[in-house]
A and B are shown apart, each in its own frame.
Chain A
Amino acid sequence: MEGARQHIKPTPHRPRGGGICENQWMDLSPPDALDETATQPLLICEHCDTVHRRGPLAKGEVAECARCGAVLERCRGMGANALLALILTALVVFVQATLWPIVTLGLNGQYVDATLWDVIHTMWLDHSQVVAVLAALTLFVFPLCKIFMLGWLLLYARSGRRAPGFRRLMVALHHLGPWTMSEVFVLGALVSIVKAHLYFDVLPDPGIYAYAGLMLLITLFAGVDLTRLWDETRGESP
């Protein structure tokens, strides 16, 4: 257990394994341990309900549950400023990915291109409204909401404050979870291009590059543990 992956450090007289045992728990946690404003000394694994003592994490380190192996907590290598810069970049790239055509197909001198909105629109007209709605939500509405909400939260988190609406936005972000699918769409575009290439001339458009950039940003963001914002910010959260 070295390097970037490390188990939560056990208490000194328990040489191996994470967590604490029942009788230790009482005297290890002060009465205000469950107070909302104090940094929490305890962590509960959301995958198996095991109680762990929170250990200090260096940048880039990941704490894993000793029982089930799930990630308990990760310490991101980036500060709020760096994250905000990433989010703003993501916003610019996302707008471009949405507005610009993705690819152009050519056949006998005829050319057709499509933006994300053309994709959604044609599915709606072609009796696949369910797909149109799914695509509009997972490729446009949810990602855009996520970018704006994160941007807003981070704008305040830079100075350790909680943005107006912090609580509601954090809950909303949690529920957005896996419902943003831009990265799947990028792979879908790739498959479509390969398929179309068999019959048509394929000309890449700026949109596809914007999507590639977006995918990179999503990968960078994948390792960020947002629940830490609860501990890192202070202030009233209406």
Chain B
Amino acid sequence: MSQEAMSRHLPRAAELGLIGCHVCGQVCRAVDADGDIQACPRCGSTLHRRKPAAYTRTWALLIAGFLMYIPANVLPIMRTASLGDIDDNTILSGVVELWVKGSPGLAVIVFCASIMVPMLKFLALGTLLISCRSGSNWARRQRAKLYRLVELVGYWSMLDVFVVALLTALVRFGYFSLVEPLPGVVFFGLTVVLTMFASMCFDPRLIWDGKEDSDD
């Protein structure tokens, strides 16, 4: 018997009339059937069975993040000027430059942080939102793991933003060499923040809320 099949019999807080506090973990008895406007006796935070409006909020933030992500990739994020030579870099060209000019290892890290992680967030959260809405019981443990991965690696996308900021502050040699941030970096920073908020608004408990297996 698989672990997933076994854990099907474990009681869930909602079934027992309990609510776990999101903030401090306190186990509370749900006062009424809806139990929505109840404060945690220990930390004072509002108790929710599920995060409020998880679908709407996550979708909204995810779409907003994606809208920012397009200019973040299309527009250059950084301008390097040396001896009158002007060169605009996008996120991808920065990765390519790092690869070509001698640090493939670091190029892979930057590629993961700047391109893979944002894509992962859009795809993973999108998949989670759609599959949870339909109450699907497909690969629940894996989807739960996917969500935890998104939460864990999400903020590392800020890497490129910090690189641009540092280079701007450091490369100030007037006519000889100069680095300037370009609008792409602002959009990219906003993408990271919006997708971080999106993953926070999603409630992983929804993964387990739908129908159980029929061969019970």
Residue positions of A touching B, CB distance < 8 A = 16-22, 25, 33-34, 36, 40, 42-52, 66-70, 102-103, 105, 107-108, 110, 112-114, 118-123, 126-128, 130-132, 134-135, 138-139, 167, 170-171, 174-175, 177-179, 181, 184-185, 187-192, 194-196, 198-200, 227, 230
Contacts and interface: CB of A to CB of B under 8 A. Distances in A.
Interface stretch (B52-60, B120-128, B148-156): B148-156
B168 A44 contact: no
B27 A19 contact: no
A122 B145 contact: no
A198 B168 contact: no
Interface in B134-171: 140-141, 144-145, 147-148, 151, 154-156, 158-171
Contacts of B15: 22
Nearest to B12: A49
Give the dominant DSSP class at B's interface: helix
Given A114-B166, A126-B181, A178-B151, A48 B12 contact: yes
Interface string B97-117: 110011100100110010000
Contacts of B74: none
B6 A17 contact: yes
Contacts of B3: 17, 66
Nearest to B161: A131
Contacts of B190: 130
Give the dominant DSSP class at A's interface: mixed
Contact of A227 (B25, B45, B144): B25
A178 B151 CA distance: 9
Interface of B: 3, 6-7, 9-16, 18-20, 22-29, 41-45, 49, 82, 94, 97-98, 101-103, 106, 109-110, 113, 140-141, 144-145, 147-148, 151, 154-156, 158-173, 176-177, 180-181, 185-186, 189-190, 193, 196, 200, 204-205, 207-208
Q: Which of B44, B113, B168 has the most CB of A within 10 A?
A: B168
B55 to A, nearest CB: 17
B171 A105 contact: yes
A103 B171 CA distance: 11
B144 A184 contact: no
A40 B12 CA distance: 17
Contacts of A194: 98, 103, 106
Contacts of A177: 200
B168 A47 contact: no
A115 to B, nearest CB: 9
B177 to A, nearest CB: 6
Given A171-B44, A181-B158, A21 B9 contact: yes
A25 B17 CA distance: 12
Given A44-B20, A69-B144, A167-B43, A196 B163 contact: no
10 closest residue pairs by CB, A with B: A44-B20, A188-B162, A19-B10, A67-B7, A114-B169, A68-B144, A192-B166, A119-B169, A122-B169, A128-B181
Contacts of A178: 151, 154-155, 196
Given A66-B7, A187-B159, A123 B23 contact: no
Contacts of B160: 188
Contacts of A25: 11, 16
A66 to B, nearest CB: 5
B204 A47 contact: yes
Contact of B168 (A70, A123, A184): A123
A110 B173 contact: yes
B166 to A, nearest CB: 4
Contact of A184 (B20, B159, B170, B193): B159
B82 A199 contact: yes
B27 A67 contact: no
B54 to A, nearest CB: 13
Nearest to B110: A191
Contact of B11 (A40, A46, A50, A184): A50
